[in-house]
Every structure is written in C-alpha cells, then in structure tokens.
Amino acid sequence: MALLPASDQSGDERYLNELKSSDEDVESLLSAGADIDQLIAAGILNGEENWGWQDVEDVPDLDEAEAAALIGCLAQRWGLDLEAYHDAPNQPH
Amino acid sequence: MLQISRIDVKTGLELHETIRGVRRSRFKEVEHTYIEQWLKAHGLSAQFYMGRFYDGVNQADRLRLEPEGKVLVFTNGKDGYFTDPNTARLMTVGDTARGIAPIYAGDRHSPHNFVAYGSLIASDGMASTSVQTARLLVIDDEGRSHGNAALLDTSGQPVPGAQLERLYDKMGDGTMLVSSALMRSLITPQEQESVTERVFERAGISAELAEIAQEIPQIDAATGAAQQQIDALASWTVTQFRAATPGLPGLIKGTMASSSWCERLGVEAIISSNDIKGDDGRLSAPGLKTVANFWVNRKSDGRYGEQAVGPQVKGCIPEATLHEFNPRTKAQAEELAAIASTPVKLSQHYVQQKERQRQWLGSEEDFSQQRSDWLYEVLKADKYGQLSRFSKVNRELGRYLKGKWLDTALRGVNVPSAMAQHHAQLRPWEVCNKALPHGAIVAYYRSPFPNAGAAAIAINNTEIIRQRDQEAFSKQGVAYLPPWTAKNVAITDFDRDANGYFVGYGPTVPDLPQQIRQQLNSVKDRLPSEQYEAGRSLFGRMIQQMEAGQESRIVSADYPLAVKEFVGRNAPEQKPPEVTKQQKTKHPWHEGESRSAATWQAWQATADNPTGKVANAGMILQSLALEMVYAPAEQKEGLLRQVSAHYLKQLQRAGQGKLFIPDDNWLQQRGFPAYHFRERVADVAQANLRLAKIEDPSARQQFVEQKLEAASGLLLDVVNGPNAENLQTAVDSAKSARGIDASIHAFARALSHKPHLLRQHHRDHGNYLNGKTLATNTQEPISWGVEAVNQLYQDVKLPELKNEAFRDLFPKVCAPEQEERASAIARTYNELIAARQMAQERLRENRPEDQQPTLLITSSNGRDLVIQNLQDPQGTLPIWRASGIQPDWDIAIKRDTRASSGVVRFPALLSFTTGAGDRHTQLLGYVAAESVAQHHLEQRLQQPDHALTIQGPSAQIRAPFAQENDADELMARAASFAQESVDSISEDERPAYLSALWRQSDSMGFALKQFSDLVGDRLSSVPEIILTGLQHDSNQSGQIPPGEYMARFSEYSYGKNNETRTCPSVAIVLGDGAEQQLGALSARSVHLPLGTTVKAYIAIEPSGKTARMQVLDLVAAPESSQAASETSNLIAFQPSIESSVAAEGCSTYETEQPAHPPTTYSPSRKELRQWYAIALVNQDEPLKEKILEKGQQLRAFYGTETGILGATPPLEYRHPSVTVSEQEHRHIQQRIAATPMPRPLRTKRPQMELG
C-alpha cells in the first residue's frame, strides 16, 4: 500500500489516507487490523443511515385501548400466544 | 511506474489541479503492479483512467464513455479502471494469435473476476521481481495433495510421504513459500543501503573515501556482515504479495516467506491453490509446472504491533470493559490531562509515545516503514527546549492532543497483534506467537468482530513450533494458528489477516502447553471442534480453580477478565451462533449482455459496501442492550417506558406492512434458531400496558427488570445472530453478488429506540476542540469509559511567544535570489494548503450538491449561473458532455413557491430539440445558492409568474466539487510539491534556504517541516543570548566580571504606570541555590523554558546595560522547584543528553552506583549492540550468540518491568541482573573507544514512501 508523503498530517490522518489510497478491499483492510470506524472516517465505508427512532417520528401515539387492540390483532394475524409467552418463566429464544 | 489519470465517470472529464497557475491532470501513480508487468511482457502500452462510482452513475454513463476510449476493465471497490477498447479486449479476452492470455480467464465468470479480484491488477508494492523461467509447485491446501506426479528432490530422489506431510502442514489458504533467492531479490535497494550503512557504522568504518582506503580488511569483513544481514532480513521476513505469470490467466495473492523446501524441490515457489484467483484451471491445478516471467511483488511485511480494541469487541465483554479497560482508559486520560497544558511535558510525552510506537514497529530493524515525523525529529533534538512556546510546534502538538483525547475516549486500550500464518502442527486450542510468553492463555480475534463467538481461546505454544519447524519459528512478525480454529472460530485466513491478542493468564511452570497436551490427550482423535471445546473448557476450569486458590500453574497477566469473559461467553450453553465466512455468489453475466455491461453492473452492486451500516446497527443495538442491564435502577422504569412505546410504534408500522419482523419459519429457513422475534417485540410493546396495572413498588421493579432483560436479550440475539451474518456477508460484498439481507437490516435499524449520540457524532470535527467533548446518551460501560475521559478533558491554550523570539535561531545567510526562490516555494505551498483547508471545510458541510456534477450556464451577455442537483436519473439529457454554445437550448428559471427548502427554490427548466427534431422540455435542476445571491433572484423572481429565460446559452458541465477538491489528494499534492521543491535544492544550499524561510513568519512552519534535520542540528546548541536592562535596580547580581556562571531562565516583575509587568529574565544561581536576577531577555533572543538551568559564559558589555550570554550546557536543577521538575523530566527522556547526566545519577534507566567498584558490569542495550557489531565484523560466532543471549535477557526484564511483554528496551536500558565480567567490560570499552562516533545520518525524504 502506498503511503502519502509525510507532511502536515497527523499520524491518524496519515493512516486514514493510507487506508483511502489502499488497493485492498474492505474485507482485507478490516482483517489486517483497521476498524470499522476508521474505514468510515476514511470515506471507504458509509456509516450514515436513518434509524428506528426516526422511522416512528410520524407514527401516532395510541391510547391504552388502541394499543391493546393493535397487539391483539397482530397476535391473531401472526398466530402468537402472547399470554403463554410472557407468563413463561424462561422465555424461549 | 504507471500514471493513472483521474476522471469523473458521469461527465467523462479528467480531473485537474492547479499549481503555480498551471493546470494539469490529476493522476494516481502506482509502482510494482501486475498491470505494468502484463503490459511489458506483451510489449503493450496504454493509457489508464480511474473514476469513482457515486449516486446517480449508471449504464448511460458507460455508453458515453466507451466511444470516448474509456472502457471499464476492472474495479477496486468504489473506483473503476478504464482503458482503450483494444487494451480492454486484450486484458479480458486475450489474443491467441498474438500469444496474449487474458488477465483473468475469459469465461462466463470474467466480469465477476474483474470486479471481485480487480484490485489485484493494480495492487502496488514496495518491490517486485520477475523470474524468466520458473518452476512452481501448486498444492491443494485443503486436500493436502500436490497432484499425482512424484516429487523429487534436487538429487532426483522421491520425497517420502511422511516428510511431505510436514510441507502440507505449512500450506494454508493464503500461503506461498518461495526460494531464498526470490525473497532476496525483493529486498529493496533502500533496505540494502541502510543495512550496509548501519553495519559499517557499527564497525566504525567511515563513509569518507580517504578513510576507507585505510580500512580495507575491515570493509571486506563489514561487507560480508552486511550481506549476511540482508540475507537474514530476507530469511525472517513474511510479506504480503501479489504474483502472476502473463502466460496464464489468474492472479495469486497471499503472504509469502522463504523456505528451504523450494531449494529441496528445485522450485521457485510452492503455492496453495486457494491463493489463485480467476484462473482457467491450469494455474491452480495441483502439481509442478514451468511458467515464463513469473512475477511477484512485495506489499507489506508482517510485524508484531498493536491493535486498538474497538467498540465491537468491548461491547461483547462489558465486564472487562468496565473493570479492566475503563480504569486504563481513565489512567491514560489522567496522564494526558497532567501534561496537556505544559509544553515541555507535552513534548516529552510526544517523543516518548513516538519512541514507543517505533519500538513496537521495530523500526530500527525495518527500513521500509520508517516515516518522516518532523515534530518528533525536532522535539527529540531540542534538548534545551528552545522551541517550547513556538506557535508552529504548539499547533502540531495541539492536533496531536486532540487526536489523543479522541483515541483515548473511543479506544483507549491496545493489545499486541501479529500477522496470521497457517500451521497444522498446532492443536485447535493452541497458537504460536513468539512475541507473547510461552504458555500464556490468550483470546485472539480479528476485525470485524461479529460476536463473542469469534474470539478464539488458546494457549501460546511457541515451543512446539520451535522444536518441529525451526524455519517457521525463525520468521518475524507472525503468529501461527491451527487451521480449524482460524477458519471456524477466528474467521481468519492467511492472506494478510492480523489478530489482536488479549493475554489473560501467564504460566508459572515452563511446560504448561505440554501439560495441557497431556491433559487433553484423550480428545486428540476427536473432531477439531470437540478438541477446541475441550481446550476452552479446560482453560475455563483452570481459571476458576486459580481464583479459588486450587490451581497454581497460572497467574493473572494483562487482561484476565477479558479472557475469562470470552471463555464464559463461548461456553456451549451461552455461545452465540457460529458466524463463518458466507457462501459467495458470483456476479452474473447474463445471456445477451455485453461484457462491459455485466462488469459495470457488478461494479454498481459492489461500489457502496454496506459493512459500515451493518456494523453500526450492531454496535448501536449492542450498546442499547447493555444499557438495559447496566442503567441505574432509578432510571430503568423510564427506560422501559421509552423502549415499550417505541416497540409499540414499530408494531404499528409492521401492521401497516412498513416493517417486516422475521417469524420463526423465515428464520429457520435461513438457518437461524427460532428466535420468536415477533412474540418478543410484542411482549416488550405490551410492557407499558401491563406496568400500568402493577401498583406494588417491588413488583413493579421486578417487572421492569424482567422486561428490560427480555428486551436486552432480544437485541443481543439480533446482533449476534442475523446481524452478525449480515456483517460477514457485507465484508465480502466485493466478491459476492449476494447482498446483505435487507429485511434483517431494516429490522435491526427499527429496534433502536433513541438516537445514539456517541455513534452519530464520534467523527465530528469539533470533538475535543474548544472544550467540546464526545457526546454520549447511554448508561453502559463503553459510554462510561468515554465519560471518564470527558471529565478529565480540558481545553488548553499552550503558552506562546511571538515568532520573532525564534528568528535568531537561524541568522540570515542567504543571497537575494535564494530568498526569492524560497519565498516562492513557501508561498505556493501555503496556497495549496489554504486551498485544501477551504475544500475540507466546505466538504465538512456534507452538501449533497457537492457530490454531483453541476452545469455552468453563461448567457449571451456573459453572466454565469450554476445549476446543481441535476435531474436526469436516466442520463438522457444532452447535458453530460455540454461544453460551449447550445443554440437549441432555452433555460427558464422560476420561483417555486411550494419549495420545502432553499436549495430547490429556483428550478431551471431546459427546452431543447431532440434527435427526432421535437422540442422537449423538462426539469434540469436548481440554481445554486451562490448564483441565487449573485443575481439577486430572491428579489427579481418574487412573483410566481416572473421567469428568467436564457436562450442559446453557453453550457459547461463540471465534475462534482467533492471530486475536484478531494481534501486528501490536495494534501498529498501540497506535500509532493514541497518535497519536489526541497529536493531540487542542492545539499550545499540547504542552510541558506532554511535561513531564508526561517526569517519570515509565513514560511517558518514550512522550514520546520521540510528542514527538520538541519533544525535538529541547530537545536543542539543555543545561539548567543542578549540580556538587557542591567543598569536597573532589578539587576541583583551587579556588574559581574566575564566568566562561566550557573544561570537560570527566570522572570521578574516590576511596576510601570501603576501596572505590574512581568519580564522574562536570566538569574545567576548562587552556590546555595538562591537566584539573583541579572537582566531581561531581549525579545529576539531564545527563551528557554522557565526554570531551565544552564552553565553559560556571560560577559557584560562596556555600556553596562547589556550582556552577551552563551549557553554551554544544561545543568540538572534541584528537584524541589517546579522548574527542576520540568528540566529533570527533559533530561530523563532525552537520550542525546543521557550520557551527560548519567554521571549525576539522573538517567531513568541508570542503576544506583555501588560504593565500591563492581566486579561485574551491566551493559546497556546500546553497548550490547555496539559490541555485537564488532563481533559481527570479526565473525566471532560464540561471542555473537553470547551477546544475543544477553540481549534477550534484557528484553525479558524490560518486559517484566513495563508490563509490555516482548517490547524492545530503550537503547540506554540496562539491568543489574544482566552482567558481563570486568574483563569483558574492558574489552567493550576499548573497542567502542576505538570506534569513531558515526556521523549523524541525514534523514532521507523518499519520493514516495511505501508501506
């Protein structure tokens, strides 16, 4: 892997540049010791994404009855026995 | 050397840079690549281009590029490589008539190979070699076979099968053995030169020709010794390589080492068939074969180093994170806080850290990896602290500090690492890492770390490899792994993988690995998985028994808790599902599809590697899961409410079909356990409803605990099961068309109930700047570690003096033309750095429009505006090659009153004449904010019916800003410019140029970086200092006569205009230690750090007002004062002055002097090295062995003292237990005294350093 000339860059920046200019694929860079965050910082990987809490920003709050109805309806649709599940001493997984 | 021009694939434009007003193409330079060899072997020359894949790039772009002579041939992740159609055809199909074989087999897998293994084609190295006619032996490493032909040794005798088994033991996925001659040919000229230079220096041979003439016998001996060292270097090096033969398709990748098996079998290389990629079956067929022009390059060598422990690993062992890692992190932060605000201490810390890094990297023995670090060079040379408080130094130290705070907070803990090598002589529960103690119980792993099951538990058995495979044992920088464990537990192969090692327990008996073998003798014929589990379980029992005082064969070492936790989490009842490498699906080439279309399609599928997203999902869920367990009791009910409410909303989404929650059938069809995800999500979602009905506080608490535990278990099952598998699929995405399971990824994302501040903001530029710390919002061990660092972080402003205080370090000794040229170089460099800075700041804004091409529209009256966010998803608009007048275009700009944001407020409509002659109008894009402001569009287009129309404009398509202004490339360009400019200055003129640059504030920084060797030389003495104000009452010493004095850099206060002013000064130190002020330091004199005590010659001028002071040497000050503490620290770590202070007992590593002359002597490591050089020259083998033994003893003691096992001691390190006799000591002293001090070597600044 070619290193860039030493100059105004700190050790970390230099390492990120080495990663960026490397001809290795992601798997090789990781298995050779780079961590995910370094590959993200070097622009090789994209770590940005929307997350679950953003997905539900527009989902309305339900009152108790609505919530119970929703869960009951889904349990029926999916064939789940929730009573048996949450009363089990050791939940199976 | 091959220059590959950079292009933007969407616009086809070559990317440019401007230096000194000259615009030139940007290119990437590669050397020692196979493409160079392939072209040369076939007598071809071709121009290559490379371009990045980004959002919006599509097959329409391929169709535009191909007629322009840019055909996509191979890809390397985001970058595609293009060349002319003829070269592309030869590379992909070959030409039988001309005897040209394609680079990869020209079959249906060709597009797959040119994408999956495209990176190998232009993979550069530090050296390469080619063997005209080479015999190769290919071994089926999985089947342990070499084909049907009998293998004969060089005397024509068949090699017995039992011995061949030993060869197979060495061959794994990624292994290649080569002849010594081939390995030697890959030693670079720089390495050879450095070895020779060092041997000559140690032998006391000067590089001056006149002196050489008097030392011919010594030279002969030293030359022989140097050659031996070069051979030794080739012999112990294990390096990553690429190899190929132009006569056959296929490329070979892996790690190689020399082996006497090659000489024995008369072959150049022995290759594992798994190393060979994309061949047509001929190259990878096991057996002997003779090939022409066998080419090999050397990329990077294995080394014993360190690996940071990242959040993926920490999250799997929270107890070790809390009790073992966080205290160390905190201690590091405390150390950082203690030195952060004192320039001298900070400088010392910097030098110490760099030296430690060098020790780990073994840079004394590794020439190819040495990197220029100007700050280290000048700080190490600055024994008087002359650059203390210099803004240019402070700035760099500040950057270092910021990085250090961040690194401490995010990682904090480093563990030893080594490059993995295959060895079948090891049992599944063993590993062989020479850098770690024999008999240590370790956990090793590689990145990325999917779950705790990927940590392999082992005992370090170095002795078995030393006994059974001396050749393997002699290799440096590597650790040998048993094949089953490497593949099935640690997910490690041998093509450059490095493992990190937690050393948990050390042995108290020397033969612990052998004892373990005996204890596990009963399982030796079982399946490897059973043997491994037997080992893990035995180690677990031993740890428990040790803790109970019933096992005395092991003691705690560096990370006992981490290893214990890994052992526990891998117990059969707790172990997460096994995540192995995923089955790869080749990228398709459909019937009727062109090769280039299929290659492009595969590139598109692999350009955006999802590893970062999947790993992020795993780390976030892991953190949230830990919080559910570790959060303080009083916060748990609130936490459950939040989680339950979030899951209820996700159930709503699932009910609406917006979220898929995997059911058990779906999971089991994919090989997962029946996780009951639906029941568990619903159960947690119901928790709020049920909680409302529980009134008893203790029942509530119990319920909350139970439900949080359930939610935590759910998250960890997602992380350790399906998400871990997705991660493994993601890391292999370049080689497989099988993408990650999007529904699992969506489900994992959906389970995060709140923003995770640490994961979202840990890369923010402002972290640990101006008082801003890393944000966290979870209550679990990793976040607590960060918060502990945050508590200790302080924003410091290092004290600074004006630049003029440093100017007289280099008096003006330059001619006007030198001054002019030096200024021009510095000015250009500063401009390039400023351009980079601007680009970097703009790119930090993450503007989407900067990632896409823009269109510059110029009206007939010469007014410009920029259209961005171009709306042409199919790539059919006639804009992508626009350059010049477009007579059939009309562009209309209006205000969109419904626009949601400013960036889409002024849409531009394009009307043009199609190829069929029709007029067509569609949305082109949006006017850029700068153009909106420049042309006052907000005012001019206030009414919806107002429009700005541009008819027949001139249009110029432009590459994305982010590509034209890649901050890293701009930095590299500035550095290259600086290097080329400075290299063009003759050796004789360098001092003059340094002087010219140093005299201007704007170019002092440039001088410091580019002339650090000369600056370092200058810092060995202090320029004459002028003291003023000696006529005032503040002069307590009076008109002292000229002579040598003990003087201290001090300060005094005086009143002026009702103000108290403090003035830097010099005081005379009296015999009783008291100070008497003498005079003030003139502004342009060097200001040594406050409290620095020196021996100096001082002479007061006849006027009696000023004095001239010449510093002669540093003096160790009394330890009681603050100043003394700074000075003594300086002394303690500055090796250049250790000799002067050793006599005063100030050296860190000096032992106390006995009252009577000793009968034995403890030599330092440096002395041993000098002695060894002499033994080397004299070819005194017994003496060499004896010295090596002493060296190993020193290393062992140093390792014990510092806790860094295997670390190289400092050169001045000695230990009272490592002694030589008086007679031997005298011998050393005489030989060393007879050896002239070597000239300090000027640091070379290579054109392009290779790693």
Question: Which residues make beta-bridge pairs with B805?
Answer: none
Per the CB < 8 A criterion, the answer to whether B1080 and B1032 are in contact is no
C-alpha B753: how far from chain center? 34
What residue in B sits closest to A90 (Cα-Cα)?
Answer: B710
The pLDDT, as a whole number, for residue B297 is 97
The answer to whether residue B803 neighbours chain A at the CB level (below 8 Å) is no
The sign of the dihedral angle between the CA atoms of A62, A64, A70, A74 is: positive
- Residue B34 pLDDT level (bands cut at 50, 70, 90): very high
Q: What is the reported pLDDT for B1056?
A: 78
Strand residue runs (E) in B366-471: 414-422, 430-433, 441-445, 456-460
Whole-angstrom CA distances from B927 to B249, B471, B849, B885, B1031 are 51, 68, 11, 19, 71
Mean pLDDT value of segment B80-91? 98
* Interface mutation target, options A24, A50, A77, chain B, most CBs of B under 10 Å: A24
Q: Report how far apart, in Å, the C-alpha atoms of A38 and of each of A47, B621, B723 are.
A: 11, 20, 20
Please count the other Cβ atoms lying within 10 Å of the Cβ belonging to residue A68: 13
Across residues B50-65, what is the average pLDDT?
96
Rounded to an integer, what is the distance from CA B859 to the centroid of its chain? 49
Local confidence band at B582 (pLDDT 50, 70, 90 cut-offs): low
Assess whether pLDDT exceeds 70 at residue B1048: yes
pLDDT over 90 for what percent of chain B?
Answer: 72
DSSP letters spanning B1092-1156: -EEEEEEEE-TTSS-EEEEEEEE-PPPTTSHHHHHHHHHHHH-GGGHHHHHTTT--TTPPPPPSS
Q: Supply the DSSP symbol for B277.
A: E
Residue B962 tokens read as: 């982010």
Distance (Å) from the C-alpha of residue A37 to the closest C-alpha of chain B? 8
Q: Scanning every residue of chain A, which has its alpha carbon at the shortest distance from the alpha carbon of B123?
A: A23
B395 contact A CB<8A = no
Q: Are B383 and B1114 in contact (CB under 8 A)?
A: yes
Is residue B368 scored above 70 in pLDDT? no
- The residue among A58, A5, A70 whose CA lies nearest residue B654 is A70
Please, which residues have CB within 8 angstroms of residue B236's CB and are 6 or more apart in sequence? B474, B475, B476
State residue B1232's pLDDT score.
Answer: 55
User: Shortest Cα distance from A81 to chain B (angstroms)?
Assistant: 8
Mean pLDDT score, B932-947: 90
pLDDT at B125 > cutoff 70? yes
What residues of A are in contact with residue B1250 (Cβ under 8 Å)? 1-3
What is the reported pLDDT for B1173? 64
Q: Residue B620 and residue B751: Cα distance in Å, rounded?
A: 10
Tell whether the model's pLDDT for residue B1149 goes beyond 70: no
Going by pLDDT thresholds of 50, 70 and 90, the confidence category of residue B1157 is very low
The pLDDT value recorded for residue B1005 is: 93
For the cut 50, the answer to whether the pLDDT of residue B449 exceeds it is yes
Place of tokens 């070559």: B14
Q: Are the CB atoms for B268 and B135 separated by under 8 Å? A: yes
Q: How far is B613 from chain A (nearest CA, A)?
A: 5
Cβ(B729)–Cβ(B738) below 8 Å: yes
Q: B42 phi and psi, to 5 degrees?
A: -105, 10
CB < 8 Å to B311, chain A: 37
Give the C-alpha distances (Å, rounded to integers) separating B907 from B10, B849, B868, B903, B919.
Answer: 22, 14, 10, 9, 19
Tens digits of residue pLDDT in B966-1025: 888 888 888 889 999 999 999 999 999 999 999 988 999 999 999 999 999 999 999 999
From the list B447, B650, B680, the residue facing A34 with the nearest CB is B447
Which residues are paired to B957 by β-bridges? Answer: B855
Contact assessment for residue A6 and residue A13, using Cβ atoms and an 8 Å cutoff:
no
| Least confident stretch, A10-14, A39-43, A62-66, B933-937 | A10-14
Q: Looking at per-residue confidence, does A15 or B1065 come out higher?
A: B1065
pLDDT for position B1244: 35
Q: Which residues pair with B301 in a beta bridge?
A: B239
Q: For an interface test with B, which of A29, A46, A51, A59 has the most B Cβ atoms less than 10 Å from its Cβ? A: A51
B616 and A CB contact within 8 Å: yes
> pLDDT (tens digit, 9 = 90+) per residue, B180-212?
999 999 999 999 988 888 888 877 776 554 454
For residue B262, give the amino acid letter.
C
Bridge partners of B5, per DSSP, are B27, B49
* pLDDT, average across residues B328-345: 93
What percent of chain B lies above the pLDDT cut of 70? 90
The pLDDT score that the predictor gives to residue B214 is 55
Specify burial of residue B212 (Cβ count, 10 A radius: 0-12, 13-18, 19+). middle
Round to whole Å and give the CA distance between B279 and B174.
Answer: 16
Beta strands in B854-918 (DSSP E): 854-858, 864-868, 883-885, 890-894, 907-913
Q: Which residues pair with B23 in a beta bridge?
A: B18
**Residue B381: both structure tokens together:** 């040379």
3-state class (DSSP) for residue B920: strand
Alpha helices, DSSP H, located in B42-136: 59-65, 85-92, 110-116
Partners of residue B675 in chain A, C-beta under 8 Å: 93
Whether the pLDDT of residue B1142 is over 50: the answer is no
Q: Tens digit of pLDDT for each residue in B261-313?
A: 999 999 999 999 999 999 999 999 999 999 999 999 999 999 998 899 999 99
Q: Residue B1240 has what pLDDT?
A: 32
Question: How far apart (Å, rounded) are the C-alpha atoms in residues B548 and B571?
Answer: 20
B677-694 confidence digits (pLDDT tens):
999 999 999 999 999 999
**Structure token digits, residue B442:** 């370790």
Question: Among B676, B749, B755, whose Cβ lies nearest the Cβ of A93?
Answer: B676
- Which pLDDT belongs to residue B372? 65
Candidates A30, A48, A64: best to mutate against B (most CBs of B within 10 A) is A30
**B288 backbone dihedrals φ, ψ, rounded to 5°:** -85, 145
Q: Which pLDDT band, with edges at 50, 70 and 90, does B221 fall under? A: confident
Find, in chain A, the residue whose alpha carbon is nearest to that of B728: A27
Render pLDDT for B763-791 as a digit per residue (tens, 0 to 9). Answer: 898 999 999 999 999 999 999 999 999 99
- Per the DSSP assignment, residues forming a β-bridge with A2 are B1250
Identify the closest residue of chain A to B1009 by CA–CA distance. Answer: A7
Phi, psi of B1158 (to 5 degrees): -75, 155
pLDDT of residue B588: 94
Total residues found in chain B within this entry:
1251
Identify the sign of the CA torsion B382, B387, B389, B394.
Answer: negative
State the burial class of residue B1057 (Cβ atoms within 10 Å of its Cβ: 0-12, 13-18, 19+).
Answer: exposed
CB atoms within 10 A of CB B25: 13
Instruction: Indicate the residue type of B1230.
Output: Q
Predicted pLDDT of residue B1133 = 25
| pLDDT per residue as tens digits for the range B989-998 | 999 999 999 9
Distance CA(B744)–CA(B675), nearest Å, equals 13
Distance from CA of B665 to the nearest CA of A (A): 12
User: What is the per-residue pLDDT for B360?
Assistant: 62
Structural tokens at position B1057: 């205009």
Q: Between chains, do B686 and A86 touch, taking CB under 8 Å as contact?
A: yes
Q: What is the pLDDT of residues B1195-1247, one digit of tens each?
A: 777 776 666 666 667 777 787 777 777 667 766 666 555 544 333 333 333 33
* B557 alpha-carbon distance from chain centroid: 27
Angstrom CA distances, B1017 to B370, B382, B1095, stand at 20, 9, 20
pLDDT tens sequence across B894-917: 999 888 888 899 999 999 999 899
**pLDDT on residue B96:** 94
For residue B500, what is the nearest residue in chain A, using CA coordinates?
A33
B931 touches chain A (CB under 8 A): no
Q: How far apart are CA B420 and CA B486, in angstroms?
A: 9
CA distances in angstroms from B582 to B112, B355, B656, B806, listed in the order given: 17, 41, 33, 61
To the nearest whole angstrom, how far is the Cα of B494 from the nearest Cα of chain A? 10
Between B452 and A1, the more confident residue is B452
DSSP state letter for B281: S
Q: Give the separation between CA B67 and CA B65, rounded to whole angstroms.
A: 6
Mean pLDDT along residues A7-18: 65
Look at residues B316, B1247, B322, B330 and name the one whose alpha carbon lies nearest to residue B793. B330
Quick check: B529 and B570 in contact, CB under 8 A? Answer: no
**Rounded Cα–Cα distance for residues B971 and B835 (Å):** 9
Angle at which helices B343-361 and B1122-1133 cross, to 10°: 20
CA of B380 to nearest chain A CA: how many angstroms apart? 17
Q: Which residue has the higher pLDDT, B116 or B1228?
A: B116
Looking at residue B988, the DSSP 8-state letter turns out to be G
pLDDT at B1174 (0 to 100):
67
B373 touches chain A (CB under 8 A): yes
Average pLDDT (B417-437) is 97
- CA-wise closest residue to B857 among B944, B971, B728, B951: B951
In this prediction, residue B77 has a pLDDT band, given cuts at 50, 70 and 90, of confident
pLDDT (tens digit per residue) in B710-756: 999 999 999 999 999 999 899 888 888 988 999 999 999 999 999 99
Q: How far is CA B650 from CA B640, B683, B689, B717, in A?
A: 15, 13, 16, 18
Question: What integer pLDDT is reported at residue B998 of this predicted model?
Answer: 94
Tell me if A71 and B686 make a contact (CB, 8 A cut-off): yes
ipTM score of complex: 0.89
Residue B496 to residue B420: CA distance in whole angstroms: 7
Q: Is the pLDDT of residue A20 over 90?
A: no
Distance, CA of B59 to CA of B588 (rounded, Å): 16
Q: Give pLDDT, residue B421.
A: 97
More confident residue, B372 or B388: B388
CA distance B1074 to B1093: 12
Across B413-421, average pLDDT: 96
Which residue in B719, B632, B93, B181 sits closest to B451, CA to CA? B719
Work out whether the CA dihedral B645, B649, B655, B659 comes out positive or negative. Answer: negative
Q: Where are the beta strands (DSSP E) in B125-197?
A: 127-139, 175-178
